[in-house]
Amino acid sequence: MATVLPVIQTRFVSGAAIDFDEKLAAHSLELRAASVDTLQINVGKLCNQACKHCHVDAGPSRTEIMTRETAEQVLAVIRRFKIPIVDITGGAPELNPSFRYLLRQCRSLGCHVIVRHNLTVMFQSGQDDLPQFFRDHKVEVVSSLPYFLEHQTDAQRGRGVFEKSIEALHRLNAVGYGVENNELILNLVYNPVGAFLPPAQQSIETDFKRELMNRYGISFNRLFTITNMPIKRFLDYLRRSGNEERYMRKLIEAFNPATVNGLMCRNLVSVDWTGRLYDCDFNQMLDLRVAPELPQTIADFNPEKFAGRRIMTGSHCFGCTAGTGSSCGGAVVQTGR
């Protein structure tokens, strides 16, 4: 991997697009799935926030939302194939009327359930018992908090979000989430507030733990660093701010072949609010569906057919392979830049 240094770039990437698959081939790599351990369910694009970096383009006015009928099809697959991990995302998934039903059913089937919870949704009408609900069902909570300071967080997620997020974290801590010697897992997500790569995960996690405890008395388990993907709202920002070429060059130059084996798409299948299947949530937002030779909807899903499948890629995939890599569980490798 070429070392990306400040000031000095040893290689110049021209304005011409670089193909991700060609990049893999140059490193004698091919991106194929392993087994399907996780079903990531995007239950819709409705959200109480409209974050500037959102690859879903989610917001309060979005109407795309998974129906109970589709949720039942998803549950039938989980039941039939004993999917071990269910990762529920959105939008704010809690705003889907079938969310709690879906979650309860998944837990009764023995799944480990992860909810991508934006923190502020618990202040929406009828959602104030979410911390207790999560606790009662032993859900793993993963929440975005781009920085431990108000200015950066509000710049990305909207005015007033930081203050509400801190209050929400207090409430989660109060029911036992993220507290030492407690099995209730609360992980936070760091996204760069702008067109740059995340710092080393271990280093920034140490900062977050120290600062959130010292400033607010908040604890949590792990911090995941996730690279902003050049998709939808973040791509719009890159273009508006004149940063698109520079950011893409940064991602390409930071390509780290050591990340490829650990990419989330190798163990995950993503299902959208209509039941269509994708290799990841980013492909979902680009309408880049699973390879055409595979079943295209959850009703026809079979994990045996998806194990070993070729992953559909695009230039956005450089976002997951830059530096230490990026996945729903944070950095993929320990060192990379």
Partner 1 sequence: MTYYEEDDLQRFAEIGKHRPDLFEKFMAWYQACQEEGALSRREKALIGLAVAHALQCPYCIDAFSQSCLEAGSNMEQMTEAIHMASAIRGGAALIHGLQSHNSVSRVSM
Strand partners, 59: 46
Mapping DSSP onto H, E and C, the string for 118-157 reads CCHHHHCCCCCCHHHHHHHCCCEEEEECCCCCHHHHHHHH
d(CA 295, CA 297): 6
- Nearest to partner 1 of 200, 286 (CB atom): 200
Site for partner 1 contains 196 (CB under 8 A): yes
Binding partner 1 by CB under 8 A: which of 5, 25, 299, 307?
Answer: 5
- Nearest to partner 1 of 50, 204 (CB atom): 204
Closest by CA position to 75, among listed 120, 115, 106: 106
In the complex, least distance from residue 10 CB atom to partner 1, rounded to whole angstroms: 6
d(CA 95, CA 110): 23
Which residues 118-147 are close enough to bind partner 1 by CB under 8 A?
147
Closest by CA position to 152, among listed 114, 200, 202, 204: 204
Site for partner 1 contains 17 (CB under 8 A): no
Number of helical (H) and strand (E) elements in the chain, helices listed first: 12, 8
Q: How many CB atoms lie within 10 A of CB 138?
A: 12
In the complex, least distance from residue 317 CB atom to partner 1, rounded to whole angstroms: 20
- Nearest to partner 1 of 14, 63 (CB atom): 14
In the complex, least distance from residue 229 CB atom to partner 1, rounded to whole angstroms: 17
Q: E strands within 147-290? A: 186-190, 223-225, 268-271, 277-278
| Residue 142 backbone phi and psi in degrees, to 5 | -120, 120
Site for partner 1 contains 6 (CB under 8 A): yes
Which residues 226-245 are close enough to bind partner 1 by CB under 8 A?
none
Q: How many CB atoms lie within 10 A of CB 242?
A: 9
d(CA 207, CA 288): 37
In the complex, least distance from residue 199 CB atom to partner 1, rounded to whole angstroms: 3
Q: Which stretch binds partner 1 (CB under 8 A): 80-88, 92-100, 194-202, 264-272?
A: 194-202
d(CA 130, CA 117): 10
- Nearest to partner 1 of 196, 295 (CB atom): 196
Q: Which stretch binds partner 1 (CB under 8 A): 4-12, 58-66, 90-98, 121-129?
A: 4-12
In the complex, least distance from residue 253 CB atom to partner 1, rounded to whole angstroms: 10
Interstrand relation of 112-116 and 277-278 (parallel, antiparallel or unpaired): unpaired
In the complex, least distance from residue 149 CB atom to partner 1, rounded to whole angstroms: 6
Q: Which stretch binds partner 1 (CB under 8 A): 40-48, 129-137, 192-200, 303-311?
A: 192-200
Site for partner 1 contains 9 (CB under 8 A): yes
In the complex, least distance from residue 56 CB atom to partner 1, rounded to whole angstroms: 24
Site for partner 1 contains 192 (CB under 8 A): yes
Site for partner 1 contains 199 (CB under 8 A): yes
Instruction: Name the residues that contact partner 1, by CB under 8 A.
Output: 3, 5-12, 147, 149, 151-152, 192, 194, 196-200, 203-204, 207, 249, 337
